[in-house]
Amino acid sequence: DAGVTQSPTHLIKTRGQQVTLRCSPKSGHDTVSWYQQALGQGPQFIFQYYEEEERQRGNFPDRFSGHQFPNYSSELNVNALLLGDSALYLCASRKKGAPGYTFGSGTRLTVV
């Protein structure tokens, strides 16, 4: 039973560029959340998708956007990359209403 899968695992981008990260949730899960984890900190909530709509959003600028597809997979897009966007981006999924989340291994984004 595959858990949460994320791609790519590592990515290097130049300041000002745009990036798309992808996530496939665990089988049976319909809700996907994205988190940003900077070095030495805990994961910070970016947003959550359910039924292809953004349901909740954390304190992140509009440069961060997302999408959920009918098969529950999701994308995270970041425009106009800044050096400070360098972080580990984690995708987590759950079944709607359940409090526990399953996390993927993350995408390590480096902005140079």
CA distances from 98 to 15, 83, 91, 93, 102 (A): 38, 35, 16, 10, 11
Binding-site member from 33, 68, 74, 93 for other proteins (CB under 8 A): 33
Q: How far is the CB of 74 from other proteins (least distance, A)?
A: 15
Residue 17 in the binding site for other proteins (CB under 8 A): no
Binding-site member from 19, 32, 81, 92 for other proteins (CB under 8 A): 92
Please tell me whether residue 84 adopts helix, strand or coil conformation.
helix
Largest CA distance in the chain: 39
Q: Which residues bind other proteins (CB under 8 A)?
A: 4, 33, 35, 40-45, 48, 55-56, 58, 90, 92, 94, 97-106
